[in-house]
Structures are given as C-alpha cells and as structure tokens.
Amino acid sequence: MKEGLARYKKLIGIGTAAFVVVVAAAVAVGAALKKGSVVNEPQNQVEVQTEPENDAFEFTFYQSEAERLADYSDVGVMIMDCDEESYFGTLANASVTRKQGEYVQGTGALETASLLSTAPTYGYFKSVDISGYEEGSVHISLYVNDPKYLSNMLYFELTSAGTSDRDELCWAIPPSILQAGWNELYLGMEDASLTGEPDLSAINFYRIYTPGGKMGLNVIFDCVYATDTEGMSLEAVGSGETASTKPGYLIDFDSLAGLSSNGTLSFSDMPGEYKEGIGGVIVSNPKQVWVMANLKPADISGYANGRLSFWVYINDVSYVRNGNIFVELTSSGTYDKNEISWKLPGEDLKTGWNEVSLNMSMATETKDGVDLKNINFMRIFGLDCDENLLVILDGMRMLPPLTIVPADGMILNCDTTEGLVVTSQPSFGVTQASGEVKEGTGAFKSTGTSIVWWQVRMTELVDVSSYAEGGIHLWLYVSDVSRLASAVNIELGSGGRYDADEYQWTVMGLKTGWNELSLEFDSASVTGNPDLKALNFLRIYARNSGEITTMLDDVRAVHIEKQQPVPGVLLTCDTTSGMTVSAGGNTFAIADGQGEYQEGSGAFQSTGSRQVRLQVKLNRPVDLSAYAEGGLHIWLYVSDTSNLNSERITLEMTSSGTYDQQELYWPIYW
C-alpha cells in the first residue's frame, strides 16, 4: 500500500451483529429461470413446414369398419385418419398402405418406411382443434410387427408449431406395453411431456421416432383422434408377474418368473452354472437388453450408502471388452423413469464368474427422483457387445457399505485415483514432481478454465466421526490468484453428489502458490444432513478469468484447537474462516504485508471500482449486547478519496443475515 495511510477512528453505537456491509451506493441483483427439453431426440431436426396450396385436408370415417375400434362413439375430433397422403402438406418417411389387415379405419393407414436409428416419420397438416379434450386423451391405433425390435421408447409427438420440439406434446411408449400386431392406445393429455406452450386449438404436426430401432422393425399407425376417454397407463411392464426372490435378495434368479430379455432365456441348475440358491439364469445372444424384471416392491432405503451386488458369468471377456453394461433400478415399474443406474465398463469384467459390487453413491439418478422404499423394476442392458455373448446371472441383493476408518483422519491422500471417480479440468493427473507435492507421494494437478477444479466420488465411505469437534486440513495450490473471479468453494459430504448432505466452506484471500487451509466443521454452511461416518464426495470450484493451474494434496480430518472469541470483537480480518465474504465484484485479498494491517496478522483488502466494497456473513452470530451503550471501532484505509464518486462510505451491520433488514448503519463522510 502507499505511504501516508489515511486513518479514521470513531466511536459509534452498536448492537448484536451477524452481517456487515461496506458500500458506496445501492446494488440490485436479478435472477433468470429456464426450461429443460425432452431428451433422446433424433439427430436430424425438422424445419418449420409451410401450408400447401391445395386444401385437400378432408377425411372420411367408414362406419362399416368402425367395429375394428373399441367404440365408434368414442371418436371426438379426428386428427389424422391416415387414409390419404394428400391430407398432409409435408409427409416424411411414411406412405399409405391399403393392404388387407394393415389398416383399422377408413381405406388405409400410414406405414413407416423405416424407423431405424433416429430417423423419424413426421407430417404437417391443416390445424385441428382438440382444445375440448384437454382432460381426455389422444387415441392411436399402432401396429408393431414385434416389440423386440424396439430397444428403446417409441415417441409420439403432436405440435401446434408446424415442426418438432416447439409447442409440443410428447408421449414415451415403452415396448413392454406393446404386443406384436395392432395396439389400441389412449395417451392421456396430462401424461404428455410439454415443450413450449402447445395450442390445442391448432394442432398441425406429428412425429414418431424410436432411438436405436433394429433392422426388421415395421410400424403402422391409423385413426389418431382426440377423445374424452381417460388415458391409459404407460408404465406397466410385462404381465405383472414378479421375479423370484428370497429374504435378503432383490432377485435370486432361481426361476424365469417375471424375467424378459432380447436374447434367449433359460434356467440352469448344472454345477458351475450358478453361484447361489438352486440355479442361475442363462441369457444367450442378449443383443442389448440382457434381462429386465418386475420386482416384488422392496425397501432399500436403509442401503442409501450401501452397495448393489450380483454375480455375472461372461463366456468370453472379449465380447464385452469394448462395451458398456448398464444396471438400472426403478420405483416406476418401468425403465428410464424414477431410476438409479450404473455404468459398468466391459473392461472391468473377466472371462468366467464376476462378483459385481456397485456403490449407491456412484449411481446416476433421473431428474424425477427414485423412491428407495419402493424399488419394483430392474434392467441390465449392454451396448457394443458381441452377438456371441452368453451371460449367466445370479444372486442380486443389497449389501451394507464398505467403510474405512483412517487412523490419521485421511480423506484423500491425492497420491492416486484408485477407488475414486474424479472429474476435473481438461488437463488432470497425479503429479509427483518436486515442489508439487506437500505430503505423501503425489498430488492432484489440473489446468484449465472450467469452474469445477475437482469433483471426487469415493467408492468406499470414510468415517471421520471422531473428528466431529474439529475440521479438515488440506493443501491447495493456485498458480495465479489474479485469475480468480470468485471465492473458492470447498464441499465435503455424504450424499454422493454436490449440494446434498454436505459441508461447504467459502474461502477468500488465497495467495499465489501453496495455501495451507484449516476449516472447522461448525463454521461451515450445511446442506441436508452430512454424515461424518460416511463421507463419499468432495468438490472444489471457483470461477476463473483465464487458464489456471491448481493442485490439491492431503485432505484429512483434524482436531482443531479453537480460539475463544475476544469479547467485543466482530471481525479480526486475519482470516475468512467461519464466514462468507464478498467484495461485490472487486478483487479481494487478505493483506499481510508490512504496513498493510493495523492489528493481528492481516486485513481485508478490496481493490476495484464496484460500489459494494465488502460484504461479510458470519456463520456464527456474535453477541455484542454488552456494548449497547458503547460504540464500534474499525480501521479503514482508502487509497485515494478523490476516486470516490460520493461523499461518504456507508457501514452496515445486521442481525438478519442480509442487508437492509434488522440493521444499524452509519454514513462516514469525507
């Protein structure tokens, strides 16, 4: 700092404080919301269609053929009778078939040319008003030659935008509810996924597609109309028969009951062809879906930090070597809804029997959430596996977690990534270079511009509950603190992901190079109910204004000798521990050079032109009631008062945890 410090010292009234702000003027903050969109979309998007010059949008309903429908009077408003291609201004990947048995109503139906891969069929037609049926459903007669050719959902969409993915209703039809041949479906309006704001008075576009359709798939549809009839369930899978089980197991694989597959299922009780119980289930040439099963509803909530375990036999590991196997559990009675899933690389398996153990903390959960108290469906499928693959499955059950209790409180030694799933910046690795390791044999090192420096999920739980009265110690290296555009946030928890059951510390005032940090548990912000007996997740992140290199070493729980607060002291400004500090967009640092602080070991420094100079929220409120008749003392340094665009700096102190509420404030004039 410059010589000739301008000092200001004055006694003024004071009360209980939990929040301090130093400002030069008012600041407003806004937020924005955004919508998500439907996934699994075809790669080729549809352009907005234009209405054709001809007006041939008529249809004819032949009552003589109405017996093919459940009830002729059920028809409310016909959307597409599928009799004439001239009904459509644009018709892609479909044509009218008039063969016997290939239509349900009128004189024909629309037969898809191909739904392989992600190629959709779609059509534009003159607007149809179905607004009177928003409490009802959309009927469609759907022919599928064999549902086994559908490896994923069949999607049906109606829009009012003349194109896809705008102002749209979308229904996901699982293959498990379809039979080979004609299916009469009632798709509930309330069950549709919405994109934008579809206008039911002006429906003018359809699309049908299925990701991953197989060669041989043939789909025909007919008689699409709006009706008052209630929508059907799209969640039923199979006949409803549940897989065999015994106490302690989700599936014992002792019979074929409740199981289905894209391959050939058989039961074996031959020695060597099962691991537990009385037998195992063999799946020959499983293609994609190895097995899926209805389960007797099971409560696995007691294993939220546990493991899913099962046996799988592989006849030749080369058949899965370059593939991925996915394991799914759901509470919806079908797949891809209310689900947790795991990705199991084929490289992790070997020829012969494998005991697979999947940590719950490593599972991916769908956005609609899963009810662990009501698990009722399981699916295993493999991608890019050889057609000659043969697998045997046995003994699927839940097991308690594997927990380690480190004698030295170690959470991450950063010497290796074994037993961890690490997400980091583009350039990440374990360094062993001289000067880049603080303890042990290595340290995490990453370089890039991304916000997340490290996100670490641990396959084994770490129990540091004996350090509950302490905190964590770690080494953190920053190559250039001038490139930090925000505080550094450190999260540690037991929820298996960020923002769930975690402690969070906001750290400011770092210096370029290595920083030794000690962070108390009781000074952290807490989300949910973090369990120190079951830590399994760490995340460190900050916004960067340019490429930055960071290193992390030796994260461990420690006993911290807590200093008793000095009576009457609100902020020592020597550390940011136990508080959240913001400089309002200015550059913040803890100044510890000669002449840069007045007491203790440092001072809070804010450099820049933004109005809010410092904003401090204390995790633990300070009781200053004994000084109600006294005043407040503060050391305040200003480099040049002529650069202030007002005649005062305002000091605010509150007990509300924010500004402008339950507040004392003082204007300091120059």
The DSSP bridge pattern shows strands 17-23 and 648-654 to be antiparallel
**Range of weakest confidence among 77-81, 264-268, 615-619:** 615-619
Average pLDDT over residues 86-99: 93
DSSP class of residue 147 equals G
288: CB partners within 8 A, 6+ apart: 151, 212, 262, 381, 382, 383
Sole residue written with tokens 């890019």: 384
pLDDT, position 116? 61
Average pLDDT over residues 538-549: 94
pLDDT at 34 over 50: no
Instruction: Identify the pLDDT of residue 29.
Output: 26
8 Å CB contact between 504 and 430: no
pLDDT at residue 32 tops 50: no
- Looking at residue 478, its pLDDT comes to 96
* pLDDT value, residue 37: 36
Angstrom distances, CA of residue 596 to CA of 3, 368, 446, 517, 572: 10, 53, 33, 22, 14
Q: Which residue has the higher pLDDT, 627 or 187?
A: 187
Range of lowest pLDDT (189-198, 324-333, 586-595): 586-595
Collect all residues with Cβ–Cβ distance below 8 Å to 376 and sequence separation of at least 6. 294, 295, 296, 297, 298, 330, 331, 332, 333
The predicted model gives 412-430 an average pLDDT of 90
**What is the average pLDDT across 546-560?**
95
- At 336, is the pLDDT very low, low, confident or very high (cuts 50, 70, 90)? confident
Is residue 4 very low, low, confident or very high in pLDDT (cuts 50, 70, 90)?
A: very low
Q: For residue 621, name the pLDDT band (cuts at 50, 70, 90).
A: confident
Query: According to the model, what pLDDT value does residue 59 have?
Result: 41
Is the model's pLDDT at 63 over the cut of 60? no
Which range of 96-110, 145-159, 463-477 scores highest in mean pLDDT? It is: 463-477
Start-to-end CA distance of the chain, whole Å, equals: 20
Mean pLDDT calculated for residue range 625-629: 86
Q: Is the pLDDT of residue 586 over 60?
A: yes
> What single-letter DSSP state applies at residue 213?
B
Which two three-digit tokens encode residue 197?
């704001």
d(CA 496, CA 597): 42
> Each residue of 561-573: pLDDT tens digit?
766 677 888 888 8
CA–CA separation, 330 vs 340, rounded Å? 6
Q: 485, 481, 563: which is closest to 518 by C-alpha?
A: 563
* Rg over CA atoms, the chain: 32
Work out whether strand 403-404 and strand 452-462 pair parallel, antiparallel, or are unpaired: parallel
For the whole prediction, is pTM greater than 0.75? no
The answer to whether the beta carbons of residues 301 and 373 sit under 8 Å apart is yes
At residue 156, the pLDDT reads: 94
Average of per-residue pLDDT across 127-131: 95
Name 375's Cβ contacts closer than 8 Å, sequence gap at least 6: 250, 295, 297, 298, 299, 300, 329, 330, 331
> Helix, strand, coil % (nearest 5) of the chain?
10, 40, 50
